[in-house]
Structure 1
């Protein structure tokens, strides 16, 4: 009986500790670690009124005279800021790194839920150009380096085509190319993996004409994260992002769903594959060899079709759709080697 009582005491202490820890995390304020190695450094979470919405940016770098590296996150409402602590610290030595939670995403959504009407590609592009003007003026820069991930590459390809004078280079991570072509490759990949693992029920579901959501199967077979069968590692990492409060972390999924369901594609009439073949600035494509969210074969096909003053294809052998998360050291090495001589 004494043993049972002791076990209950231990369990009660564990539960109380968890509750207290969650309470502390819930109340813990947003913050970003200071950079103390330089008098000209920046490390700040800022809210800038862009369009009609106060939008959150994280700006970090050892020297504000360094080139600006602006990340465009995916989703369309899945922030990259809450993963930044996993990979961007080495980049901050050579760049002023800017993470931006767009309207309808992350900290911006948690602070200001936008109107449904404002969730459209044209509005987000206009927001981006306004932010870029602000950053260039603030840090006395003529051009910036643009880095897009997933849906951010859809925006990025349009931006560097519409206003190439704003950018010195464009880095694409998991390039969005063509939804219909990607779907064919995704279904083939899932079918092959299901066949190998004896999952006939998945193949039956794939054959149903009304089946539109492949994400769970892409995760299960390593097409989103090579080494995980779910998005849990991304959520877990986000929970420990110093820039995010716990209530903001809990809003991430809601924001992503809001943006995805309401996004209006009102700029291009066709796919990137069909409409954008000419780039006036150097472009670099980074693709995970296991990526089937934006299938790496399709990115490679698109890469060979485009013209640019300079272009390069860089594969990450041990990654799927999130190479900066799965191979962070290599990612920072690649970015630094591209632009720092």
Structure 2
């Protein structure tokens, strides 16, 4: 693996986590920087292969670690029969954090959760608040059912405004959507695929076009086996999909012990920013802030990398200034 940018921290490793070897990709410029653990989406969609497209400037602030979760990417290929549940992944995450704290001599780490990773990250900070400095949610999931309802209504609205009869016919063919509960069976996956394609057409969701694959192929850690892992996502993550079906963050208390920040795409209707925006107004946390990036969709950090970094730096400065004030008082 070539270290083209000459990073002082640049390595991959398999670590024994919760009984299986799991993949980590580290990149950074200074061992004194805070450690950020990136929790990818999906479940099963390892984003370590996309890191070079958005995180170079992040490493001015953080040592960034990507973890291919159980049931995803290189960890899945290493352990094809060790499949995830939500509870197992929380245990995995706890052990990954212990490994990072020890490796970098840190008391706590920073968590960034994208899409499904925002579910895992939020569950984790509820259960283990003492392990995390602060949490950053991107494509933050509040309710799976409401996500799909709001996203469906928005694309229908735009199709009607455009008098796009061809797209309206495709949307009508989906039938009732999503129903009272999201069930990730073959019928629903066919429906969601149609909805996602139309959302992509109208700039409301993530487009799985060739540009994404070109980014994947150019990754310094890409192997052809990663394509095989991608093809196994649905089957490998069946139990987590069941958990997600009726997931609603509002079913739990709205009090957190960890500062919470959201960086959301103003054109993200796959995990609609309007739902997360309303939720953040209702919670109690030591600190919280929301930044909505214009013209950014579900892949917020790739759609608007400069604006995303500005938001990240603002969060970093807010947290760091607090730490500096504490040191001065002591």
The TM-score with structure 2 as length reference comes to 0.85
| Long gaps (5+) in structure 2 | 178-186, 321-330
Aligned match for 2:255, one of 275, 278, 293: 278
Q: Which residue of 2 aligns with 1:154?
A: 119
2:256–2:283 Cα contact (<8 Å) kept: yes
Aligned match for 1:78, one of 45, 53, 77: 45
Distance in 2, matches of 1:105 and 1:270, equals: 21
Deviates more, 1:311-320 or 1:188-197: 188-197
1:223–1:291 Cα contact (<8 Å) kept: yes
Task: Indicate how the Cα distance of structure 1 residues 230 and 269 shifts in structure 2: closer, same or farther if over 3 A, else same.
Answer: closer
Q: Which residue of 2 aligns with 1:53?
A: 20
- Paired residue secondary structure (2:173): helix
RMSD (CA atoms): 2.2
Using the TM superposition, give the Cα deviation of residue 258 of structure 1 relative to its aligned residue in structure 2, in angstroms. 2.8
Task: Indicate how the Cα distance of structure 1 residues 104 and 270 shifts in structure 2: closer, same or farther if over 3 A, else same.
Answer: closer
Task: Indicate how the Cα distance of structure 1 residues 184 and 268 shifts in structure 2: closer, same or farther if over 3 A, else same.
Answer: closer
Q: Which structure 1 residue ranges, 4+ long, deviate > 4 Å from structure 2?
A: 208-211, 264-270
Q: Which residue of 1 aligns with 2:211?
A: 233
Q: Which residue of 2 aligns with 1:320?
A: 297
Distance in 1, matches of 2:203 and 2:87, equals: 33
Distance in 2, matches of 1:333 and 1:248, equals: 35
Task: Indicate how the Cα distance of structure 1 residues 337 and 136 shifts in structure 2: closer, same or farther if over 3 A, else same.
Answer: same
Matches within 5 A, 1:1-341: 31-33=1-3, 36=6, 41-115=8-82, 118-195=83-160, 196=162, 197-198=164-165, 199-208=167-176, 212-213=191-192, 214-225=195-206, 229-245=207-223, 247-263=224-240, 270-340=247-317
**Alignment length (residue pairs):** 302
2:144–2:244 Cα contact (<8 Å) kept: no
Distance in 2, matches of 1:284 and 1:88, equals: 18
- Paired residue secondary structure (2:205): coil
| Long gaps (5+) in structure 1 | 1-30
The TM-score with structure 1 as length reference comes to 0.82
Distance in 2, matches of 1:241 and 1:48, equals: 21
1:282–1:308 Cα contact (<8 Å) kept: yes
Rg (Cα) greater in structure: 1
Distance in 2, matches of 1:265 and 1:162, equals: 21
Using the TM superposition, give the Cα deviation of residue 252 of structure 1 relative to its aligned residue in structure 2, in angstroms. 4.2
2:9–2:27 Cα contact (<8 Å) kept: yes
Task: Indicate how the Cα distance of structure 1 residues 324 and 230 shifts in structure 2: closer, same or farther if over 3 A, else same.
Answer: same
2:145–2:245 Cα contact (<8 Å) kept: no
1:61–1:97 Cα contact (<8 Å) kept: yes
Q: Which residue of 2 aligns with 1:26?
A: none
Task: Indicate how the Cα distance of structure 1 residues 144 and 236 shifts in structure 2: closer, same or farther if over 3 A, else same.
Answer: same
Task: Indicate how the Cα distance of structure 1 residues 231 and 307 shifts in structure 2: closer, same or farther if over 3 A, else same.
Answer: farther
Task: Indicate how the Cα distance of structure 1 residues 267 and 85 shifts in structure 2: closer, same or farther if over 3 A, else same.
Answer: closer
Using the TM superposition, give the Cα deviation of residue 36 of structure 1 relative to its aligned residue in structure 2, in angstroms. 3.9
Q: Which residue of 2 aligns with 1:18?
A: none
Distance in 1, matches of 2:145 and 2:6, equals: 49
Distance in 1, matches of 2:315 and 2:243, equals: 33
- Paired residue secondary structure (1:263): helix
- Paired residue secondary structure (2:146): helix
1:53–1:114 Cα contact (<8 Å) kept: no
